[in-house]
Amino acid sequence: MREIVLDTETTGFEPSEGHRIVEIGAVELENHMPTGKTYHQYINPERNMPKEAFEVHGLGDDFLRDKPVFKHIGRDFLDFIGDAKLVIHNAAFDVKFLNFELKLAGLSTIEWSRAIDTLAISRQKFPGSPASLDALCRRFGVDNSAREKHGALLDSEILAEVYLELIGGRQPDFGLANQPMKSATTANGAADDWRPRPRPEPLPPRITEDEARAHAEFMVKMGEGALWKKRA
């Protein structure tokens, strides 16, 4: 199964207000494992960069002036993503901008059904907890120390790690895809007594102090009528 983890940087929040994409970064996964293939492109937005957006990603007018416009790279982008599912944090934002640019370029747009929104997944799994990419990095122990400013390719690489943790960690094949599988029974038909070994060191807690505090406040708001406070 092929998936593309994707991120964009833009000049603002709404394409309908004249804002454009200035960077696309994408990472390929195969069966939930990174393949090493990536896509990265800076784009000339054909407009000036607002100060607020520059402070987020650091991509200014001088840097972007000689970069290609979207209509010159749109086909290559579509060729890279193919028909894969698209893993995006806050997918509504990126798909909105991508479809705006694709439509302007006269290219086919992206169907919403292809998007896997990690923001929605994290809010469903951890209700009431912070769900930003930085917050999820803290929760899962993903190193984001290089993320001084937003960058589409770096954020895609970080999001790929976060996504794999959200869906249960990097364990579809435990890195043993090229090794023969062990039979569930021995040659004489006796049950195999293999058992997983305990971790040499326990995993660090995945909940921050702020998240624990938010949970405690939520419990208080439930009041004495909460189901778990009623005696059988």
pLDDT in tens, 56-84: 999 999 999 999 999 999 999 999 999 99
Q: Is 33 helix (H, G, I), strand (E, B) or coil?
A: strand
Nearest to 210 by CA among 131, 155, 118: 131
Confidence band, pLDDT 50/70/90 cuts, at residue 176: very low
Backbone torsions φ then ψ of 95, nearest 5 degrees:
-65, -40
| Residue 117: closest CA among 7, 36, 1, 2 | 7
pTM: 0.72
Domain membership of residue 178 (yes or no) is: no
Q: Where are the beta strands (DSSP E) in the chain?
A: 2-10, 21-30, 33-42, 85-88, 115-117
Residue 221 resides in a domain: no
Q: Which CATH number characterizes residue 50's domain? A: 3.30.420.10
SS3 116: strand
pLDDT score for 187: 42
The answer as to whether 40 is a domain residue is yes
Residue 20 CA to residue 49 CA, distance in Å, equals 10
Mean pLDDT along residues 100-124: 97
Which pLDDT band holds residue 18 (cuts at 50, 70, 90)?
Answer: very high
pLDDT value at residue 54: 95
Partners of 87 in the β-ladder:
5, 116
Beta bridge partners of 218: none
Task: Give the phi and the psi of residue 117 in degrees, each rounded to 5.
Answer: -95, 105
For range 117-126, the mean pLDDT = 97
Full domain range(s) for residue 86? 2-166
Q: Does residue 42 surpass a pLDDT of 80?
A: yes
Separation between Cα atoms, residue 232 and residue 227, nearest integer Å: 10
Picking from 152, 149, 131, 192, the residue whose alpha carbon sits closest to that of residue 23 is: 152
Residue 17 included in any domain: yes
Q: Cα–chain-centroid distance for residue 211?
A: 20
> Is 98 part of a structural domain of the chain?
yes
Residue 217 lies in a domain: no
99 belongs to a structural domain: yes
Catalytic site residues? 150
Q: What is the pLDDT of residue 96?
A: 98
- Give residue 201's pLDDT: 61
Pairing of strands 85-88, 2-10: parallel
- Asked if residue 85 is part of any domain, the answer here is yes
Residue 65 carries which side chain, given as an amino acid letter? R
Q: Which of 7-21, 117-131, 138-152, 218-232 has the lowest mean pLDDT?
A: 218-232
The C-alpha atoms of residue 132 and residue 208 are separated, in whole angstroms, by: 13
Q: What are phi and psi of 61, to 5 degrees?
A: -60, -45
Domain count, the chain: 1
At residue 197 the predicted structure's pLDDT band, cuts being 50, 70 and 90, is low
Distances (CA, A) of 197 to 118, 168, 173, 203, 205: 31, 19, 17, 14, 20
